[in-house]
Homo-oligomer: A and B are copies of this chain.
Amino acid sequence: MIKIGIIGATGYAGGELVRILHAHKNAEIIWYGSKSYIDQKYSHVFRNLFQVIEDICLDDKIEELASKVDVIFTATPQGYLASLLSEEIISRVKIIDLSADYRMKDVSVYEKWYGIEHKSPQFIEEAVYGLCEVNREEIKKARLVANPGCYTTCSILTILPLLKEGLIRPESIIVDAKSGTSGAGRGAKTETLFCEVNENIKAYGVTSHRHTPEIEEQLGYAAGQEIIINFTPHLVPMNRGILVTAYADLKENTDLETIRAAYKKHYQNESFIRLLDQGICPETKWVEGSNYVDINVIKDERTNRVIMMGAIDNLMKGAAGQAVQNMNLMFGQEEREGLDLIPMFP
């Protein structure tokens, strides 16, 4: 039984971790960390878990926690884990960090985009970027996994095969992304009130969203060169789901069969990635509640561009689902354990 502690258990990603892990055969949550709800029943925070989880919320004492569990999930604000992590902790417990603290290798990029000083840059080198389909073997051996962002997971997986196969011009990549509102978290803000989001759509963080450099770094590894992209997120009146619509120029007039072959080559053994039938556009509803990534690509013969589309559930493959997938890899579990969930429709 893998013993688990969650720090930040009462946010949406934390709640999703609990939903998944409760059904995991070989895992057991023994620490529901939440500074805001200490000593309150966890199921009073998430009442869907009434009579399912009887535990109470505990303080976020990472050092104490490190001696009690096998793995800690940190679903905490940026900078939190970086400010606490020490060799002593990481030598005793594996950590899967859902924040951005260890996602980027260049600490100056992190500090610039996030506007905070990194307090433990010495662990950046060691941290493994937890995009399972890309770094599976490294993840298996990791002590510290940086769980990717929601937009980034969807963007990278949607674009990677064509970039890696050299079919598209890297400097032409534009990512137009659309997200459900749970990505904005459970904190009370006017801009995420029901009446502000419902019957509305907008772009936000245009040219400045923090997931941009994360996407660029990972795509850069795939391309073997520095990549700069446009990334534009949008807020959609729905709870869950991210849809990425990405554009790029083809280098040559590659035919669709060759384009699709690139996806098949990279993803044919990936059980969570579904390359849809030709011409079918991904819909976020088809992956809701699951760890799937639905992908497709359409070629525009008139402009010689590809439109690459990907859909995930932002709380699953975009956060908690991928985190559990990482845990499974790190602990020698079957990769789908706890994640063999069928999307809920409608």
- A243 contacts B201, C-beta separation under 8 Å: yes
| Distance between Cα atoms of A243 and B52 in the complex (Å) | 21
The answer to whether A344 touches B48, judged by C-beta atoms less than 8 angstroms apart, is: yes
**A188–B286 alpha-carbon span in the complex (Å):** 20
Segment touching B, from A60-68, A88-96, A132-140, A299-307: A299-307
List A159-198 residues whose CB lies under 8 Å from chain B.
171, 174, 176, 178, 180-182, 186-190, 192-198
Closest to A343 in B: B48
77-103 of chain A: CB within 8 A of chain B: none
Is A207 in the interface zone, CB < 8 Å from B?
yes
Residue from the set A188, A200, A309 with the largest chain B CB neighbour count within 10 Å: A200
List which A287-310 residues lie within 8 A (CB) of chain B: 287-290, 294, 298-303, 305, 307, 309
A263 to B75, CA, bound (A): 38
Q: Which of A217-225, A274-282, A323-331 contacts B (4 or more CB under 8 A)?
A: A274-282
Give per-residue flags for A17-31: 1 if the beta carbon is below 8 A from chain B beta carbons, else 0.
001001100000000
Q: Does A2 contact B (CB under 8 A)?
A: no
**B346 contacts A239, CB within 8 Å?**
yes
Contacting pair A198 B287 (CB below 8 A): no
In the bound complex, what is the Cα–Cα distance between A118 and B281 (angstroms)? 31
Range of interface residues on A (Cβ < 8 Å): 35 or more
- Does A283 sit within 8 A of B, measured CB to CB? yes
Closest chain B CB from A47 CB (angstroms):
5
A340 with B23, Cβ < 8 A, contacts A181-B195, A288-B199 known: yes
Copies of this chain present in the complex amount to 4
Contact between chains at B199 and A285 (CB < 8 Å): yes
| Most chain B CB inside 10 Å of its own CB: which residue of A187, A195, A204 | A195
A293 and B299 alpha carbons, distance in the complex (Å)? 31
Collect the chain B residues with CB atoms within 8 Å of residue A181's CB.
193-195, 198
Instruction: Pick from B49, B200, B236: contact of A283, CB below 8 A.
Output: B200
Q: Are B307 and A207 neighbours in the complex by a CB distance under 8 Å?
A: yes
Residues of B within 8 A of A74 (CB): none
**CB<8 Å pairs between A and B, sample of 18:** A12-B195, A47-B280, A50-B274, A51-B274, A188-B189, A189-B193, A193-B194, A198-B238, A199-B199, A201-B241, A202-B243, A206-B298, A207-B302, A229-B303, A230-B247, A230-B303, A232-B307, A247-B247
Bound Cα distance from A229 to B300, whole angstroms: 10
- In the assembled complex, which residues on chain B have CB atoms less than 8 Å from the CB atom of A277? 50
Interface string of A46-58 (1 = CB under 8 A from B): 1111111000000
Chain B CB within 8 A of A116 CB: no
